[in-house]
């Protein structure tokens, strides 16, 4: 059997350690869908002529931000390695404050966010809508830093109540914020909603997960009898993440297999052209491999990639299919390969594809070969020649598994002898030569009677007495 591979690289030629925008994500609308994968957190300190930062305050904020990022990463450490959250703090202007006309007040105060477009304009983002500007900035930063997601953390040198927009594009903090504040606000960036002033029929996050630990029942008056106030999204200082918040930020793992529900899907095998040529004993496959996102609320976004592809024929051990660029690591992969010189009979080809969280999908196809074997072609290279003769001579006068061509028994009688060599010599030069090295004749002259006698004289056992 011969195998020929023609593989196409992953779309975008993306490497596993340099993730692109997640599969199915909109560049501006989906810059932070859940708390899985890699994030670039753009930190921008702002100040005006009146409200400024001291070096000590900047150092303190930087430490609190680092603690918050470290805490969030620890929350996914038990998940599958390719699903775990990683957060990289990206300090704009090397961590030094950016000057604006006015830092503004707290959320709801007139002019509280006028600084946003001023900062963005200095960076070259000129859309009238500040949300569009920051979203585009986030997308550019995740592309530059090769992370799945990105959001921006503005910090003012005044006191106030921090706030954040769900799933981005930014959060606003103040000089008195502790690490817990960033921890809580970044949960909003991942899709979690508050519990202290919410209702149990509210839903949030990519999975539209219920807010079962909300303070109030749907009537807005009755306190939730199942309320647990020890919750990150309910009570200041709490670092307890309940199942409802896990569901909203995408880290819920219902079956406990370390693969979050959002990523616990199977890859797809999508054949486009499957052909068999029975008389040639050949089979070919053309198609694609793809990740399969979990759909929710009209979205179908995943950070899973294709990580491996294998095949096997007739239940034999699995063999790897090579990727054109050396590694399977894209959201989609084109795949084409062929098998040839399959012996006559029914054959079953199995494909197995694995995604980055280790989930597999199988595909099988059964076909028939009616290939008539070339008599004397012991090594199945399509030509009867010296190599086939060598297989017989190497096992001359020895027992062999009946019919084992590679053991030199084409006659199938379980013994390598005159019948086997006659089958080779009787079809000498039949078939197509497998391509000789340069300067070597394609065909070996058919051995004459003298040559045959010499061979037999050397190898056929003598029973008479030597004179």
34-57 pLDDT, tens per residue? 999 999 999 999 999 999 999 999
* Whether 58 and 123 share a structural domain: yes
> Whole-structure pTM over 0.85, yes or no?
no
The per-residue DSSP string of 335-402 comes to EEEEEE-PPSEEEEEEEEEEETTS-EEEEEEEEEE-PPP-TT-TT-SSB-SHHHHHHHHHTTT-B--T
Q: Find where tokens 């020649």 sit.
A: 385
* Whether 428 and 341 share a structural domain: no
Average the pLDDT over 422-434 and give the result.
Answer: 89
In a domain, 465, yes or no: no
Determine contact, residues 332/289, Cβ cutoff 8 Å. yes
- From 307, 341, 369, give the residue that closes a domain: 369
From CA 403, how far away is CA 237, in angstroms rounded?
Answer: 78
Domains of the chain: total: 3
Q: Which residue has the higher pLDDT, 23 or 344?
A: 23
In a domain, 99, yes or no: yes
% of the chain with per-residue pLDDT over 90: 78
pLDDT exceeds 90 at position 289: yes
pLDDT, one tens digit per residue, over 193-207 is 999 999 999 999 999
CB neighbourhood size of 359 (10 A):
20
Q: pLDDT at position 181, please?
A: 97
What would the two tokens of residue 377 be? 């072609």
In a domain, 236, yes or no: no
pLDDT exceeds 60 at position 169: yes
Count how many Cα atoms sit within 13 Å of the Cα of residue 27 in the half-sphere of its side chain: 8
Domain carrying residue 420: 386-459
pLDDT exceeds 90 at position 371: no
* Whether 315 and 453 share a structural domain: no
CATH number at residue 338: 2.60.40.10
* Whether 335 and 363 share a structural domain: yes
- From 145, 174, 190, give the residue that closes a domain: 190
* Whether 82 and 42 share a structural domain: yes
pLDDT exceeds 90 at position 442: no
Nearest Cα residue to 324 out of 340, 306, 339: 306
In a domain, 377, yes or no: no
């Amino acid at each position: 059997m011969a195998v020929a591979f023609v593989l196409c690289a992953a779309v975008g030629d993306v490497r596993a350690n340099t993730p692109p925008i997640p599969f199915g994500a909109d560049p501006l609308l989906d810059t932070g869908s859940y708390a899985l994968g890699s994030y670039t957190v753009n930190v921008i300190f702002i100040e005006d002529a009146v409200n400024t930062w001291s070096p000590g305050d900047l150092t303190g904020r930087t430490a609190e931000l680092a603690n918050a990022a470290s805490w969030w990463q620890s929350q996914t450490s038990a998940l599958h390695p390719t699903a775990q959250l990683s957060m990289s703090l990206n300090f704009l202007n090397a961590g030094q404050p950016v000057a604006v006309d006015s830092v503004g007040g707290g959320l709801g105060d007139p002019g509280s966010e006028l600084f946003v477009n001023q900062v963005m304009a200095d960076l070259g983002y000129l859309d009238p809508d500040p949300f569009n500007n920051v979203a585009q900035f986030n997308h550019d930063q995740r592309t530059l830093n090769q992370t799945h997601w990105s959001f921006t953390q503005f910090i003012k040198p005044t006191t106030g109540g921090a706030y954040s927009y769900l799933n981005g594009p930014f959060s606003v903090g103040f000089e008195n914020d502790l690490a817990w504040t960033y921890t809580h606000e970044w949960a909003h960036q991942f899709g979690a909603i508050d519990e202290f002033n919410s209702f149990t029929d509210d839903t949030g996050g990519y999975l539209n997960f219920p807010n079962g630990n909300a303070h109030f029942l749907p009537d807005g008056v009755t306190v939730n009898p199942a309320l647990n106030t020890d919750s990150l999204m309910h009570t200041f200082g709490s670092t307890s993440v309940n199942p409802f918040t896990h569901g909203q930020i995408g880290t819920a793992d219902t079956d406990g297999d370390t693969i979050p529900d959002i990523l616990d899907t199977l890859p797809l095998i999508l054949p486009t052209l499957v052909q068999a040529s029975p008389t040639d004993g050949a089979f070919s496959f053309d198609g694609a491999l793809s990740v399969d996102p979990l759909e929710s609320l009209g979205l179908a976004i995943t950070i899973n990639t294709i990580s491996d592809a294998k095949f096997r024929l007739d239940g034999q051990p699995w063999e790897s299919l090579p990727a054109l660029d050396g590694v399977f690591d894209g959201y989609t992969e084109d795949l084409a390969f062929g098998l040839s010189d399959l012996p006559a009979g029914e054959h079953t080809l199995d494909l197995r594809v694995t995604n980055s969280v280790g989930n597999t999908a199988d595909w099988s196809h059964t076909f028939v070969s009616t290939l008539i074997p070339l008599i004397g072609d012991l090594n199945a290279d399509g030509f009867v020649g010296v190599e086939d003769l060598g297989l017989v001579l190497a096992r001359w006068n020895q027992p062999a598994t009946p019919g084992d061509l590679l053991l030199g028994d084409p006659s199938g009688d379980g013994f390598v002898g005159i019948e086997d060599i006659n089958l080779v010599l009787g079809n000498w030069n039949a078939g197509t030569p497998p391509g000789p090295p340069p300067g070597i004749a394609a065909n070996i002259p058919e051995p004459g009677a003298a040559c045959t006698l010499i061979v037999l004289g050397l190898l056929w056992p003598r029973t008479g007495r030597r004179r």
